[in-house]
Amino acid sequence: MDFIPLIRRYGYWLIRGFWKPRYIRPNALFEQMTHVGVLALPSVAMACMFMGIVLVMQGAYQLQQVGAIDYVADLVGVSMFREIGPLITAVIVIGRSASSITAELGTMKVSEEIDALEVMGVDPVRYLVMPRVAAMTIMMPCLTVIGECLGLFGGALISSFSLGMDPYYYGSRLLQAVFLRDLWSGLIKSLIFGFIVGILACYRGLNVEGGAEGVGRETTNSVVLCLKAMLATNCILTALFYFF
């Protein structure tokens, strides 16, 4: 299945789904949201918390040389909301969930389950792609919010223990430095990442050929493609948010 027809059919079923929610398959959507989102939470939480710790340590190393150690909370807050939170969350979800989606759909392709759906008159885009892409789009911002909170917590933890910074002081500097715009820009990035990663993972899965070897190859290709697409999109969106 080519990429443009896949996008077109996804858009068609999304619009139709607003008139007849039965087409969206709510049970499958919730199942995918659990698989893509809820089960990825521990990994996302841990990764973001560690990133928060690393940000403080790396930031403190430079900032104390210019006597600006107090700005470490500002650094963590703005970076985490605008960049690190969405980026790290997307990387974890790509490694975990996008690869799983590609492998699952690829296995279905090589065992003719996709063909079986088509012969039954069931559009594989509606039945398989829609719940997965929708779940990825919904859960990515949710995971990002939780990841960002834990990243800030990690930063507060290391600031308190290593730098001797009062946690209340850390929190008040955070509130002064971070604006709503920083939060929104990160969440919009997450939303777009979720859609792009979901659709690319499904696209690679539906085009697997060559048996088990093909599934393995395309799963790897899918992760690499999703990472590249996510990083390129991040670059474009960061520029857009910077200039506008």
Partner 1 sequence: MSNSTIQPALEVKNLTRRFGDRTILDHLSFKLMPGETLVIMGGSGCGKSTLLRHLVGLMQPDEGEISILGKEITQMNESQLNLVRTKIGLLFQSGALFNSLTVGENIAMPILESSYVNPSIADLVVKMKLELVGLTGFEHLKPAQLSGGMKKRVGLARALATDPQILFCDEPTAGLDPVMTAVVDTLISDLTKKLGITAVVVTHDMTSAFRIASQMIMLFQGRIIAQGTPDEIRRNPDPILKQFVNGEADGPIPLRLSKDDYLKRLLQA
If one asks whether residue 17 binds partner 1 (CB under 8 A), the answer comes out as no
For residue 104, the minimal CB distance to partner 1 (Å) is 8
Alpha helices in the chain (DSSP H): 3-19, 26-36, 41-63, 72-79, 85-93, 99-110, 113-119, 124, 130-162, 167-177, 180-206, 211-243
Residue whose CB is less far from partner 1, 122 or 240:
122
Contact status: 166 vs partner 1 (CB under 8 A): no
Query: What CA–CA distance (Å, rounded) separates 168 from 166?
Result: 5
Q: How far is the CB of 12 from partner 1 (least distance, A)?
A: 9
Question: Collapsing DSSP states into helix, strand and coil, what is residue 116?
Answer: helix
112 near partner 1, rule: CB under 8 A: yes
Query: Rule CB under 8 A: which of 192-231 touch partner 1?
Result: none
| 241 touches partner 1 (CB under 8 A) | no
27 lies in the site for partner 1, by CB under 8 A? no
116 binds partner 1 per the rule CB under 8 A:
yes
Identity of the residue, 115 or 166, whose beta carbon is nearer to partner 1 in the bound complex: 115
Tell me the three state secondary structure of residue 220: helix
If one asks whether residue 50 binds partner 1 (CB under 8 A), the answer comes out as: no
